[in-house]
A and B are shown apart, each in its own frame.
Chain A
């Protein structure tokens, strides 16, 4: 079964601005799905429409087979949402925030108290259960919002840039938590600017730009489509002259760094052989940016070039 089906979704604001221009999307149950796109592409609008904070102009949405136009409340009961901006009651204690949220989804107080302990512990906030939300740090507030979204144990969890502004250690622990809950069968949809996050966590991705889905495939298929990748080679000794390697685009980043662009049909071994022939010793190498990031930029650039 599909956890989410979006068909021909349009959103136009009263000022005539088109935010979504016919979005089609299908997320299978149990998937870990990423929705990527630059700022203003329409990611948050899609999420707000799914959670009913924004009304669509046209199109249809089904959550686990329940049509939003006919059974909105039933559809909403399956969703947990972690929004981009803080929307917690800053004057309420962490535990009360979760207990109240559970109540809004029909979970009795007795059960809500048990679940509150479980989910505050899972985001490592149990020791702050009696503190009011406004005393928490930014990262803690974000984790609190994740616990709040989980307390009614939704079948579909939607996270709108959940790790924005969170330090690396906490980001990693949040990733582990998300992997765990996806492993037990919860469908997760994630929007993020950290493409590394999408590549590390998700199985499928959709790229949205200017209100349209421009790519929708599995991560592995999308990475196969990556035509070029840049590598940075760190040299053991400094080099003053740019080495010339036939069929490869080479540039000097500094005396100790060389950048080489490698196409998908080319072999990295050829680069190493050429460096050896020219007496250049390599101490280490790394990808210039993450693969998905390169792909993302190439998609968006290609689309804009087409438009021009």
Chain B
């Protein structure tokens, strides 16, 4: 009887530690995003404005329709998704790596918080920035084209799933990174090509059958198309297949990140 009471008290204590700890990390991450808004919120707004001016208004008007909608409307969901991907990734990779580099990540590592709580905290920061940037870029897009949300649930769930997936990818990059060069390699040499080839600016139906098959290995293709389906109701990929791939990528990255951090890779001796 007494043993059970003590056991329950310990469990309650650890639950409280993890709940308050999670809230503390989220609060810290959100404050960071808002505090350095010139680095976090403003750049995607400017970049996307330029994309819409050049690819939407100037070039897009000569392209005409794509998949049955004006080109500017076609690229809008892709550009929003592109911002979500780069910002979620960038937020977590920079925050986690800077903690690792300046060693204040140790504050969390020596604390009684679970590794999953720390991961949830950082990922929530990436999710917050992803959602915030998606709102800003959507507002920018509305200046250039009319947008509707055909399937709100699909639209919102794709934003959340994509943002979480790329926050985890950013965390993975930060775990292995030993210097600042190594946190810019993945965004430059992996993320950017995959994003540009992931159907942001074109429908993969324009590609030859061979390249269409190759494109199926690009996870960003599924995210862009799921999001485009949610907004415009058009997609190159069956929506169920898109969700399956996104969720599999998320679960794989989450499991890998937890495995590595529990093993101490990149953060402990």
Contacts and interface: CB of A to CB of B under 8 A. Distances in A.
Interface of A: 13, 48, 51-55, 71, 73-74, 76-77, 79, 81, 83, 85-90, 92, 96, 99-101, 103-109, 148
A55 B107 contact: no
B107 A87 contact: yes
A68 to B, nearest CB: 12
B47 interface: no
B13 A106 contact: yes
Nearest 4 CB-CB pairs, A to B? A103-B24, A106-B17, A87-B103, A104-B111
A55 B108 CA distance: 16
Given A74-B14, A104-B113, A52 B102 contact: no
A3 B219 CA distance: 51
B102 A89 contact: yes
A100 B20 contact: no
Nearest to A48: B269
A51 B268 CA distance: 11
Residue among A13, A55, A71, A73 with most chain B CB within 10 A: A73
A158 to B, nearest CB: 10
Given A73-B17, A87-B107, 18 more contacts: A13-B269, A51-B110, A52-B110, A53-B268, A55-B264, A55-B268, A71-B10, A73-B114, A74-B13, A100-B24, A100-B28, A103-B24, A103-B27, A104-B17, A106-B13, A106-B21, A109-B24, A148-B107
A109 B22 CA distance: 12
A192 to B, nearest CB: 20
A102 to B, nearest CB: 8
A74 B10 contact: yes
Contacts of A88: 104, 107
Contacts of B182: none
Nearest to B24: A103
Contact of A86 (B17, B18, B103, B112): B103
Given A55-B268, A85-B103, A77 B24 contact: no
A106 B16 contact: yes
B20 A77 contact: no
B144 interface: no
A107 B20 contact: yes
Given A106-B13, A106-B16, A77 B112 contact: yes
Nearest to A87: B103
B102 A55 contact: no
Residue among B13, B24, B114 with most chain A CB within 10 A: B24
Given A53-B109, A105-B111, A73 B28 contact: no
A71 to B, nearest CB: 8
B16 A87 contact: no
B167 to A, nearest CB: 20
Interface string B45-73: 00000000000000000000000000000
Nearest to A99: B24
29 contacts: A52-B109, A52-B268, A53-B106, A53-B268, A54-B268, A55-B264, A55-B268, A73-B112, A73-B113, A74-B112, A79-B110, A81-B110, A87-B104, A89-B99, A89-B102, A89-B104, A96-B28, A100-B28, A101-B111, A103-B27, A104-B17, A104-B24, A104-B108, A104-B111, A105-B17, A105-B21, A105-B111, A106-B13, A106-B17
Contacts of B99: 89
Interface in B124-181: none
B107 A100 contact: yes
B196 interface: no
Contacts, number: 89
Contacts of B27: 103
Contacts of A53: 106, 109-110, 268-269
A90 B98 CA distance: 11
A77 B108 contact: no
Contacts of B243: none
A76 B111 contact: yes
A108 B19 CA distance: 10
B47 to A, nearest CB: 25
B202 interface: no
Contacts of B13: 74, 77, 106
Interface string B244-268: 0000000000000000000010001
A294 B17 CA distance: 46
Given A55-B269, A86-B103, A76 B14 contact: no
A48 B269 CA distance: 9
B3 to A, nearest CB: 14
A105 B264 CA distance: 20
Nearest to A81: B110
Contacts of B20: 103, 106-108
Contacts of A104: 17, 21, 24-25, 107-108, 111-113
Contacts of B21: 103-106
A2 B130 CA distance: 49
A90 B18 CA distance: 25
Contacts of B16: 106
Residue among A73, A81, A87, A104 with most chain B CB within 10 A: A104
A47 B106 CA distance: 13
Contacts of B14: 73-74, 77
Nearest to B267: A53
